Amino acid sequence: MKGFDSNKTTEFKKVESTTPPSTKNGAIDMFVCRLYKYHIENWEEEKKEILEALPAENLIKEYEEDIHTDYFENSRSRRLPRYADLIVDIVSPCIEDLQSRLPGGGNNKLLIHQCWMGVDNMWYQTEYKGQKHMLHNHGNVGWSCVLYVNYNPEVHTATRFLSPYGVGSGRGGGLDWYQPDIKEGDFIIFDSSIAHEALPNESDEKRTIISMNFQTSPMIPQKQYQTK
Ligand SMILES: [Fe+2]
């Protein structure tokens, strides 16, 4: 496994730019729901390493899901998978860039814990034809991420996000959705509380992603409880 190397040559490209809230003509965007999107530049090389590191596919049929994942075997025992170090190493430049761009507010007072981020969870997910991952969120952990490992934009659909905000009048019961343009090797970071889903894979090509969560508050476990 790789260790963290601040001089690592993995390159990434900023796709989204930071824009201040619009205040045009008295219409004020009070809150911003930002998605950060990167691309791992030497992707083919990194993909080879990732695929070699991933475990054998494991079909799971729980909670109305029907997908291949190692989520349950690691999460239930609060363990990170063996490939976690490799992935963290690959996406580290993206995380560092995110931290440099987080809006801190006046005197950076909004970033109470500065830019502390700790990997909380990581798993892979593979969907074959007809398989999907229903609408869900990752709780109020902090940041969630998706790395698109096997992904063909010609036949696959990207993660679809549900707006956490109301859409106002005139839309009936319509909901606001957002789907970023994604290609293989892209890495996205978003607020863990935002609902999202993987639409059914309608192709004969499998779709594989690696997802992870980052906590944003260092834990001080003075006492811990297990409910069951
Ligand atoms: Fe998710």
Instruction: Determine the distance separating the centroid of ligand 1 and the alpha carbon of 134, expressed in angstroms.
Output: 9
Give the pLDDT score at 155. 98
The answer as to whether 118 is a domain residue is yes
- Exposed, middle or buried: residue 40 (CB in 10 Å: 0-12, 13-18, 19+)? buried
The answer as to whether 13 is a domain residue is no
The answer as to whether 176 is a domain residue is no
Instruction: Determine the distance separating the centroid of ligand 1 and the alpha carbon of 200, expressed in angstroms.
Output: 14
pLDDT 10s digits, 38-61? 999 899 999 999 999 999 988 888
Write down the mean pLDDT value for the chain: 85
Give the pLDDT score at 10. 46
Instruction: Reply yes or no on whether the pLDDT at 108 is more than 70.
Output: no
Instruction: Determine the distance separating the centroid of ligand 1 and the alpha carbon of 53, expressed in angstroms.
Output: 21
Instruction: Determine the distance separating the centroid of ligand 1 and the alpha carbon of 28, expressed in angstroms.
Output: 30
Question: Would you say 210 and 147 are in contact if contact means Cβ atoms under 8 Å apart?
Answer: yes
The answer as to whether 30 is a domain residue is no
**Which structure tokens are listed for 207?**
């779709």
Instruction: Determine the distance separating the centroid of ligand 1 and the alpha carbon of 135, expressed in angstroms.
Output: 8
CATH number at residue 87: 2.60.120.620
The answer as to whether 189 is a domain residue is yes
The mean pLDDT of 174-185, rounded to a whole number, is 94
Instruction: Determine the distance separating the centroid of ligand 1 and the alpha carbon of 29, expressed in angstroms.
Output: 26
Instruction: Determine the distance separating the centroid of ligand 1 and the alpha carbon of 126, expressed in angstroms.
Output: 13
Instruction: Determine the distance separating the centroid of ligand 1 and the alpha carbon of 118, expressed in angstroms.
Output: 18
Give the pLDDT score at 121. 94
Instruction: Reply yes or no on whether the pLDDT at 3 is more than 50.
Output: no
The mean pLDDT of 183-195, rounded to a whole number, is 97
Under DSSP, the state recorded for 2 is P
Structural domain count of the chain: 1
Give the phi and the psi of residue 59 in degrees, each rounded to 5. -75, 130
48 Ramachandran zone, left/alpha/beta (phi>0; psi -120 to 50) = alpha
Instruction: Determine the distance separating the centroid of ligand 1 and the alpha carbon of 106, expressed in angstroms.
Output: 32
The answer as to whether 170 is a domain residue is no
- What residues make up the domain containing 103? 35-156+182-226
Instruction: Reply yes or no on whether the pLDDT at 16 is more than 60.
Output: no
Instruction: Determine the distance separating the centroid of ligand 1 and the alpha carbon of 133, expressed in angstroms.
Output: 8
Give the pLDDT score at 72. 87
Instruction: Determine the distance separating the centroid of ligand 1 and the alpha carbon of 136, expressed in angstroms.
Output: 6
Instruction: Determine the distance separating the centroid of ligand 1 and the alpha carbon of 105, expressed in angstroms.
Output: 28
By C-alpha distance, which of 139, 127, 23 is closest to 66?
127
The answer as to whether 169 is a domain residue is no
By C-alpha distance, which of 69, 185, 188 is closest to 133?
69
Q: Whats the size of the chain, residue-wise?
A: 228
- This prediction has a pTM of 0.85
The answer as to whether 20 is a domain residue is no
| Greater pLDDT, 58 or 15 | 58
Per DSSP, the three-state class of 27 is coil
The mean pLDDT of 135-160, rounded to a whole number, is 96
Instruction: Determine the distance separating the centroid of ligand 1 and the alpha carbon of 110, expressed in angstroms.
Output: 26
For the chain, how long is the longest CA-to-CA vector? 56
d(CA 121, CA 213): 5
